[in-house]
Structure 1
Amino acid sequence: MNAPTTAPDARGATGKTADARQRATLTDYCASIGADPLLVQGAGGNASWKDGATLWVKASGTWLAEARRRDIFVPVDLAHLRAAVAAGQLDVAPRPLGEGGLRPSIETLLHALMPQPVVLHLHAVELLAQLVRPGFAERLRALAEAEQGAAGPLPPWLALAYHKPGLPLARAVADGLRRQPDTQIVFLQNHGVVIGAADAGAVDALLRRLLWLCATPPRPPVPVPAPVAVDMDAPAPTPPRASDGRPMAPVPDDGVQQLALDPQLFERLARDWAICPDHVVFLGAAPRRHDSAADFHTAQAACRHAPWPELLFIRAAGVYMADGFSAAKLAQLRCYYDVLARQDEHRPLTVLDQAQLAELLDWDAEKYRVALSR
């Protein structure tokens, strides 16, 4: 990794050793949590640490799981960001240090705003399952108060309504921190959580406490139907086919298959699709769902110029993907199932509206991130 072009470090060898230890510890921690799909999904989430006047933040489009195998952190000028924030210039562009080709995370300013040395932003499933429910802030408050007797109160926390990632979210967080400067936890509706603490161990302790606090058991899976006997004199059943004639393959994930096999989850596809930004950015604004493969082909034939889907949900049959469906998209699809499986079947969810969808899907920063994750 290129060294930051800042002034020489005046803290001496002891300070540099401590910084190297902080970096090594956080790198290992990021790789560890990045391997858990209930915490991190593909390129989602980010982490940072502050080293004097430098903020090291995850690069856009990189995966936390890759932290041990490649450089995923970009050094940016923290003093420059803080001066801009103090002047009310929250639209400031991060100033990378060095000559690396990666861009800082679109959430870089959020990390600069949090005062703690280490900051973690995740789309953890157990937390997201709470954050997509109406009245999530009141629910979190009740959960925290109920748990308080055993472990004491949570550190200062905020619960914010949904804001588009990037500048709108940074503005909302900045407003919250002005009201409550000692905030360590920020819950983001339909998005995730931000945790700030002194080091990776302290961040992880808070994360584990929140996961325990918000845990919801998933609904039991619907059994996969037994194969049906095929009449040898009748045409053999075939899976849906893509535009080039190749069969679409079943998604190789038993949990994801529940989205078509479980009647309750299949119905949720229509009304509860757009649950969070990453889901929409990687998988689109609406699902393609049909009652049968024949119904899909009939609909497609009626609209000959319609684009063929990468992802297809067939009621009671399965979830299918086109050739080239990326690992990043599969990670987001699994996250979607994991969140929906933790909802009561009668519970309504909060989803992104049409205006929020439009601003996400026409955003160059997210197009760049998706392109890197193919």
Structure 2
Amino acid sequence: MKTSDTAIRAAIVDFCARAGADPLLVQGAGGNVSWKERDVLWIKASGTWLSEAAQEDIFVPVDLAHLRDAVAAGEFSASPKALGDSGLRPSIETMLHSLMPHPVVVHVHAVEVLAHLVRADWLDGLQQALDSSGIAWAGVPYRKPGAELAEAVAQALAGAEASVVFLQNHGVVIGGADIAQVEAALAVLTTALANPLAAAAPAAAAPAELAAGTTTYALLEDAVVQRLATEPALRARLEREWVLYPDHVVFLGPEAYVVADTDALAQAAGAHAPELAFVRDVGVYAAPGFSKAKQVQLRCYADVIVRQAPQHVLHPLGASEIGALLNWDAERYRMSLSK
């Protein structure tokens, strides 16, 4: 198996473990990190968690020269050639990492940044917030992750020297000479783009469990998530702006199951019972087996929504964009690895 430079890898693993443990930066298997060593690109494997970088080998070496030749030929759908025999599959964003000229590249779904990227006026908002930051950046309209996104990023970087690329309805990509430089830029971005939080309204205590047909639902023990059901303004966004970025629809589905009361939920039974239910003015409930991967994605959605002011108009993904994600083998594979 290929080996990497010990010092570089150690610094990157340390960053991954810290960033992966911060839900405002990384959620579950989301995000990816890479570094380049001569003709080898080390990239996080699909479905692995950055938070586990210190405990597990989550990086895959791939043939960087092969990917650069593909980019030069405009073949953004070329499959990475993994080196070694780890059995892991390179991230679906491997091509994007390869075309960034920087030695180290980090892609995260940082909540403070994502809260801007889901707005209809995201570009104007970024320009205003980053005007004096000194960050050289580019913005890319929403594209399906993988080949389409890589091609759009390549076009955005053509003739530009941006070290930061914002991806509408998705996240941010940061390149640097080393991981310390990338982490410093990430800190600048999250500070400059920090959003005030919507004040929490008092809520009545909700039942710990609800029975619905053959399913017993448990109240999710997360105060921020519970606000999605108990606060009318946030619930209104939930009902009309459910799908805001790829990981959300992949893990949580294309629709939010909102019911008027506990009796309405009780009418659901058997295979038709939803895995996640929002009971108006009561709380958010999950069926047995609602995974940790889904819980962290739900919390991410709540974190993004509570950072929206009433005047903010959001830009949800459309039906065709949602369908492209749900019917994608790469995402089915990642879901099969979810915890």
TM-score by length of 2: 0.96
Aligned to 1:291: 260
301, 313, 317: which one pairs with 1:348?
Answer: 313
CA distance in 1, matches of 2:145, 2:215: 37
Residue identity opposite 1:23 in structure 2? R
Contact 1:42–1:332 under 8 Å retained in 2? yes
CA distance in 2, matches of 1:238, 1:31: 33
Please report how far the alpha carbon of residue 242 of structure 1 lies from its aligned counterpart in structure 2 after TM superposition: 4.9
1:312 aligns with 2:277: yes
Aligned to 2:54: 68
Residue identity opposite 1:139 in structure 2? G
1:158 aligns with 2:138: yes
Please report how far the alpha carbon of residue 292 of structure 1 lies from its aligned counterpart in structure 2 after TM superposition: 0.3
Aligned to 2:202: 223
**Runs of 5+ consecutive residues of structure 1 not aligned to the other structure:** 5-15, 228-236
Contact 1:126–1:215 under 8 Å retained in 2? yes
Matches within 5 A, 1:82-231: 82-145=68-131, 148=132, 153-154=134-135, 156-180=136-160, 182-226=161-205
Percent identity between matched residues is 50
Describe the SS at the equivalent of 2:62.
Answer: strand
CA distance in 2, matches of 1:246, 1:88: 51
Residue identity opposite 1:177 in structure 2? L
Residue identity opposite 2:149 in structure 1? L
Describe the SS at the equivalent of 1:248.
Answer: strand
Please report how far the alpha carbon of residue 123 of structure 1 lies from its aligned counterpart in structure 2 after TM superposition: 0.3
TM-score by length of 1: 0.88
Contact 1:239–1:293 under 8 Å retained in 2? no
Distance 1:88 1:238, change over 3 A: closer
CA distance in 2, matches of 1:38, 1:138: 23
Contact 1:81–1:109 under 8 Å retained in 2? yes
Describe the SS at the equivalent of 2:42.
Answer: strand
Contact 1:275–1:350 under 8 Å retained in 2? yes
Please report how far the alpha carbon of residue 238 of structure 1 lies from its aligned counterpart in structure 2 after TM superposition: 8.7
CA distance in 1, matches of 2:63, 2:169: 30
Residue identity opposite 1:160 in structure 2? V
Residue identity opposite 1:275 in structure 2? L
Contact 2:215–2:273 under 8 Å retained in 1? no
CA distance in 2, matches of 1:70, 1:31: 11
Aligned to 1:240: 210
Please report how far the alpha carbon of residue 86 of structure 1 lies from its aligned counterpart in structure 2 after TM superposition: 1.1
Could you report, residue by residue, the CA deviation over 1:36-83 in whole angstroms, capped at 9, with x for unpaired residues? Answer: 000000000000000111000000000000000000000000011011
Aligned to 1:231: none
Please report how far the alpha carbon of residue 159 of structure 1 lies from its aligned counterpart in structure 2 after TM superposition: 0.7
Please report how far the alpha carbon of residue 347 of structure 1 lies from its aligned counterpart in structure 2 after TM superposition: 2.1
CA RMSD of aligned residues (A): 1.6
Contact 1:259–1:319 under 8 Å retained in 2? yes
1:327 aligns with 2:327: no
Contact 1:256–1:319 under 8 Å retained in 2? yes
Higher Rg: 1
1:42 aligns with 2:28: yes
CA distance in 2, matches of 1:210, 1:168: 25
317, 323, 335: which one pairs with 1:358?
Answer: 323
**Runs of 5+ consecutive residues of structure 2 not aligned to the other structure:** none
Residue identity opposite 1:334 in structure 2? R
The number of residues matched between the two structures is 339
Aligned to 1:367: 332
Please report how far the alpha carbon of residue 138 of structure 1 lies from its aligned counterpart in structure 2 after TM superposition: 1.4
Which ranges of 4 or more aligned residues in structure 1 deviate by more than 6 Å? Answer: none
Aligned to 2:8: 22
Please report how far the alpha carbon of residue 144 of structure 1 lies from its aligned counterpart in structure 2 after TM superposition: 1.5
Please report how far the alpha carbon of residue 142 of structure 1 lies from its aligned counterpart in structure 2 after TM superposition: 1.4
